[in-house]
Structure 1
């Protein structure tokens, strides 16, 4: 009986680890309004397209807050390079929005979308 219990516990632990390591798609979805990365990124893209850099700066800060909440959930299930790439995109976006450079900001957003869609692949 103890062998059955032992193998059952080991199997459950392995299943839990497999679930955690493959949960990137589930974990990157918003759990509240504060961590809706897609919403804030879309709003930011619209702000930059309209050249409303004041609102874009505010939405960028909201996007950074959302990203920091998401990273803690996905850090074990996605590649570190993709996470770092989005951090780099956010840093570049900050500079482009401060300089009110519409073209470069839109390029950064497109690259960020690419990294976002490839987080768990």
Structure 2
């Protein structure tokens, strides 16, 4: 019995950690009433292209809240630099929206989307 426990506990622990570390693609999907980060990014892109800045700032609030939920789920399965890159893009995006800078806003949105795609791979 002791030998079984000595062998099985480390194996089960390693398998559990491997599953957690590979679960990023599943954990970054929207749960519950979340719209989802990619869909919100697409809505902000359309808002900026149409110069609808009030709607863009409202969607940015939604994006920020959804990202705060997702980052708690993927923090153990995603690379730190991808998480920080996406967080920085979202934070910088608010400034571009408030300044009504179309080119910077679109650039930051496409950069955020690229970080999202690389998250959890």
Higher relative contact order (CA 8 A, sep 6+): 2
Q: CA deviation at 1:104?
A: 1.1
TM-score (norm 1): 0.93
Contact 2:74-2:120 at 8 Å conserved across structures: no
Contact 1:64-1:90 at 8 Å conserved across structures: yes
Q: Distance in 1 between matches of 2:50 and 2:32?
A: 27
Counterparts of 1:8-19 in structure 2, within 5 Å, are 8-19=8-19
Structure 1 unmatched runs, 5+: none
Over the aligned positions, Cα root-mean-square deviation in angstroms equals: 1.2
Q: Which moved more, 1:67-76 or 1:111-120?
A: 111-120
TM-score (norm 2): 0.93
Contact 1:45-1:109 at 8 Å conserved across structures: yes
Contact 2:57-2:97 at 8 Å conserved across structures: yes
Q: CA deviation at 1:44?
A: 1.1
Q: CA deviation at 1:108?
A: 0.6
Describe the shift of the 1:4–1:75 C-alpha distance in structure 2 as closer, same or farther (beyond 3 A).
same
Structure 2 unmatched runs, 5+: none
Residue 91 of structure 1 aligns with which residue?
A: 91
